[in-house]
Amino acid sequence: MPITPFEASQRAREICLAAPIVPVLVVDSVEHARPLAKALVAGGLPALEVTLRTEAALDVIAEMATVDGGIVGAGTLLTPEDVKAAKAAGANFGVSPGATEQILDACEAEGLPLLPGAATASEAMRLLERGYTLMKFFPAEAAGGAKLLGSLASPLPQISFCPTGGVNVKNANDYLSLPNVICAGGSWVAPKEFITKGAWDKIESLAADASKLLT
């Protein structure tokens, strides 16, 4: 069922409020999907962004969608076809590094809550005009980091952000302490070497630590 931009932002906000960190996941094998999702959810991080950067990504989303307590999203949405495929696979939300009219139209038509990307005041204002009040700030560190993002809070108090890109355990609280940030996206909670080795207990421990970060 189609949704409005306001509804898309409200639903995305509810998902992002579930935990201070949204794991950004690059998963090469569907065999890793279920145990990885279970470890992250058990550690207190229920919202999971699976990036569409591997051949297995859609199957990974479908498998993770069956894990109790998980809220699985599709990241790196670049085309309307990506949106349709992610929705069909069972994604509960979408994430895009930027925002185009085609992507916005497709997500609204498919009823897929979207976290659209913005890196400047002008980009954020254009999304706000359309009705989006929650955005992905990307690439966070390269675009100016917490200092730049914090400077947008006063002139654009209506907008909240989920910074992603260069966010790590050392600087996460710099972002999370900002008044216009409700969560952050990070890949450090699921290192590739841990996924490859099946070190699910270590990933759960990293997730537990991340779930206790400042909110």
- Per-residue pLDDT tens over the stretch 63-82: 999 999 999 999 999 999 99
pLDDT value, residue 214: 78
147 is catalytic: no
Q: Which of 38, 49, 63, 110 is catalytic?
A: 49
Record the pTM.
Answer: 0.96
**HEC sequence for 113-170:** CEECEECCHHHHHHHHHHCCCEEEECCHHHHCHHHHHHHCCCCCCCCEEEEECCCCCC
Average pLDDT over the chain reads 97
What are the residues facing 184 on neighbouring strands? 21
Q: Which of 87, 110, 136, 204 is catalytic?
A: 136
State residue 65's pLDDT score.
Answer: 97
Q: SS3 of 112, please?
A: coil
List the domain boundaries for the chain.
5-211
pLDDT in tens, 125-158: 999 999 999 999 999 999 999 999 999 999 999 9
pLDDT in tens, 142-201: 999 999 999 999 999 999 999 999 999 999 999 999 999 999 999 999 999 999 999 999
Clarify whether 49 is annotated catalytic.
yes
pLDDT at 184: 98
Strand-pair partners of 48: 72
Rg, the chain, Cα only: 16
The pLDDT confidence band at residue 215, using thresholds 50, 70 and 90, is low
Strand (E) positions, the chain? 21-25, 47-51, 71-75, 93-95, 114-115, 117-118, 134-137, 160-163, 184-186
Provide CATH code, domain 5-211.
3.20.20.70
